[in-house]
Amino acid sequence: MTDKRPTLTLKPKARPAADRRAPGAVGRNPVPAGAAAKGPARGQGGHGKPGPSASGQPRPADPDRRPVGKPPRAQGGDFPGQQPRAQREEAPRLRQSHEVKVAPQRDYRPDLKSDSLALALLGAASAVARVRGGSALPQALALVFAAYDATPQARGAIQDIAYRTMRQLGRSETLLGLMTSKAPEPPMLGGLLCAALSLLDPPEGQAAPYEAFTVVDQAVNAAAAHPDFAHAKAMVNAVLRRFLREREALVAEALREPLARFNYPQWWIDTMRAAYPRDWEAVLEAGNVHPPLTLRVNRRKTDVSAYLHALNEAGLQAEQVGLTAVRLAQAINVAQIPGFADGVVSVQDAGAQLAAPLLDLKDGMRVLDACAAPGGKSGHILETADVQLTSVDADPARLARVGDNLGRLGLDATLLAADAGSRDWWDGRQYDRILADVPCTASGIVRRHPDIRWLRRKSDTSQLATLSSKILDNLWQMLLPDGKLLFVTCSLWPQESEAQAAAFAARHDAVRLDAPGQLLPLGGAGQDHDGLFYALFQKKAA
């Protein structure tokens, strides 16, 4: 996530003319040249705290100094009839009203029609603000859906706009910076403007999903329906209409910035360019494209040719793109996919479908799927051979999804909620095969999870590489001699992939077998897959 611009705060009301004094003046009368001021002048310490003098040394207190032309103070006080100065100085100082920040009401349920674009924009704005606060987009959307009690139709619209906004966030925020003096406050207001801009300013070659006047009108309605920024509805209207009037010039100016051109943080752009000097731009662009819907055919229930025929009968165009991979020409809801509910097919990227075949599975083997959630690879392993599978994941909630997915397929495995980096859960019996899909920055799947680029920091790469190294070392002890371990990561950064694999092989004197290595998500025929890395190791016989 990029660094936030300074937030927009209300300016304090202008002081009365009598109080607008230059530094070095008290009351209405100036202090004689060379004299120290009684209190801190504006810009010199402020808020009642003594500021440094011009020489950089603290100003000495002088209780006997008084403004020129003023009567002497009464004994024990500042002026006749006032309480003693010491008591007033001990009293807590109240903050000025413009400094008070009210907690945003992100869970506020607006009074808008469930099928309105205004509700979808507001829901997307809330999700974007949550991501900017550090939440992952799926979790942010779940909170929005619950708060709004959203219908299935509303959920689809909110999710679509939220994902559009995430993919174009760099460009939209740059455009906002050109049209506003500071980032809109609260963050949800900025999210609303970015969501609206993502609809008004679609990627090149794509048609706008709504008429421009509809987007502006509904964005204003959305602003008016939320108590945190109802006062800003005129600003929302002005900003969006200005964009429509000056679109060509504003976009041209924005695209001078890499943030707007590529929609990634600068550190991400720099890292990609250094890692892949020939392909970096194509990889970045591919990450901004909506991913295709790719299915894995369950060969225990049907074969690819038969399933393609079934899709054709249902009026759905598709093509085979791998051994068991079928890609639909048009993405649809999973509930509408023929055979999905019966376990005939599962949703899985074509690149991810390489894992099970690389393991060279045989019936009766003991197999470990470490870091298994959400269970796509576990399902593919069990579809490939009759093995004794143990699926481990540290997150019990995510592990439950593994069970759900296997249940839909009619398959079974031993599920353990445990840390793959420890041995507390291990029974001491070594495995024939281990799949280690270790934690990483997930930089290779940003087209599916566009929020990742805004949530990650450059330092995350080293931290996650260290964690993954610990997990790999631990799992190696659980592998039988002559057994195979498949190291998988969905990262594009060499530190997490090739450098990690080379260091691992050197530490353990492991035999490195043929594997695809780094898959770049370049798009196009044969390369329309996620950015995964594969390294296969075999343990030498004792």
Q: Would you state the pLDDT for residue 102?
A: 60
Does residue 201 have a known ligand-binding role?
no
pLDDT above 90 (res 213): yes
Stretch 427-456: mean pLDDT: 97
Does residue 372 have a known ligand-binding role?
yes
| More reliable by pLDDT, 542 or 478 | 478
Q: Kindly report the three-state secondary structure assignment for every residue of 316-350.
A: CCEEECCCCEEEECCCCCHHHCCCCCCCCEEECCC
- At 478, which CATH number? 3.40.50.150
Is 14 part of any domain? Answer: no
With bands split at pLDDT 50, 70 and 90, how would you rate the model's confidence at 100?
Answer: low
Residues 331 and 208 in one domain: no
Residues 359 and 474 in one domain: yes
User: Which residues span the domain enclosing 529?
Assistant: 350-539
Q: Which of 3-17, 95-109, 262-276 has the highest mean pLDDT?
A: 262-276
Q: Would you state the pLDDT for residue 503?
A: 98
Q: Would you state the pLDDT for residue 13?
A: 40
Is 282 part of any domain? Answer: no
Q: Would you state the pLDDT for residue 118?
A: 97
Residues 356 and 342 in one domain: no
Does residue 376 have a known ligand-binding role?
yes
Q: Would you state the pLDDT for residue 49?
A: 36
Mean pLDDT is lowest, of 57-61, 121-125, 213-217, for 57-61
> Active-site residue numbers?
490
Is 213 part of any domain? Answer: yes
Residues 382 and 529 in one domain: yes
Does residue 419 have a known ligand-binding role?
yes
The CA-based angle 286-521-297, given to 5 degrees, is 115
Residues 367 and 337 in one domain: no
pLDDT above 50 (res 5): no
Which residues, listed in sequence order, are joined to residue 535 by a DSSP beta bridge? 487
With bands split at pLDDT 50, 70 and 90, how would you rate the model's confidence at 523?
Answer: confident
Residues 447 and 513 in one domain: yes
Is 190 part of any domain? Answer: yes
pLDDT above 70 (res 115): yes
pLDDT above 80 (res 96): no
Across the chain, mean pLDDT equals 85
pLDDT above 80 (res 68): no
Is 38 part of any domain? Answer: no
- At 298, which CATH number? 3.30.70.1170
Q: Would you state the pLDDT for residue 76?
A: 42
DSSP classification of residue 89: H
pLDDT above 60 (res 31): no
- At 164, which CATH number? 1.10.940.10
Tell the residue number behind the tokens 């949530």, with chain if given. 455
Q: Would you state the pLDDT for residue 528?
A: 84
Does residue 373 have a known ligand-binding role?
yes
Give the H or E element holding residue 269: helix 266-275
Residues 337 and 370 in one domain: no
Instruction: Name the residue among 162, 137, 121 with its Cα closest to residue 453.
Output: 137
Q: Would you state the pLDDT for residue 2?
A: 42
Stretch 370-375: mean pLDDT: 95
Buried b (16+ CB within 10 A) or exposed e, 417-436: ebbbbeeeebeeebbbbbbb
Is 271 part of any domain? Answer: no
Residues 310 and 411 in one domain: no
Which residue, of 327, 348, 369, is where some domain finishes?
A: 348
Is 76 part of any domain? Answer: no
Q: Would you state the pLDDT for residue 101?
A: 59
The residue type at 291:
P
Predicted confidence (pLDDT) per residue in 393-418, tens digit: 999 999 999 999 999 999 999 999 99
Q: Would you state the pLDDT for residue 348?
A: 97
pTM higher than 0.85: no
Stretch 225-236: mean pLDDT: 95
275-278 contacts at long range (C-beta below 8 A, 24 or more positions apart): 275/492, 275/493, 275/494, 276/492, 276/520
Q: How many domains does the chain have?
A: 3
Residue 209 makes CB contacts below 8 A (sequence gap 6+) with 199, 202
Residues 194 and 317 in one domain: no
Does residue 375 have a known ligand-binding role?
yes
Residues 432 and 535 in one domain: yes
Is 394 part of any domain? Answer: yes
pLDDT above 70 (res 370): yes
Stretch 288-296: mean pLDDT: 94
Residues 368 and 463 in one domain: yes
Q: Would you state the pLDDT for residue 539?
A: 97
pLDDT above 90 (res 55): no
Stretch 98-123: mean pLDDT: 82
Q: Kindly report the three-state secondary structure assignment for every residue of 147-167.
A: HHCCCHHHHHHHHHHHHHHHH
Q: Would you state the pLDDT for residue 110?
A: 86
Residues 492 and 476 in one domain: yes
Mean pLDDT is lowest, of 97-111, 253-267, 302-316, for 97-111
Mean pLDDT is lowest, of 19-28, 379-388, 468-477, 514-523, for 19-28
Question: In whole angstroms, what is the distance from residue 529 CA to residue 519 CA?
Answer: 8
Stretch 264-276: mean pLDDT: 97
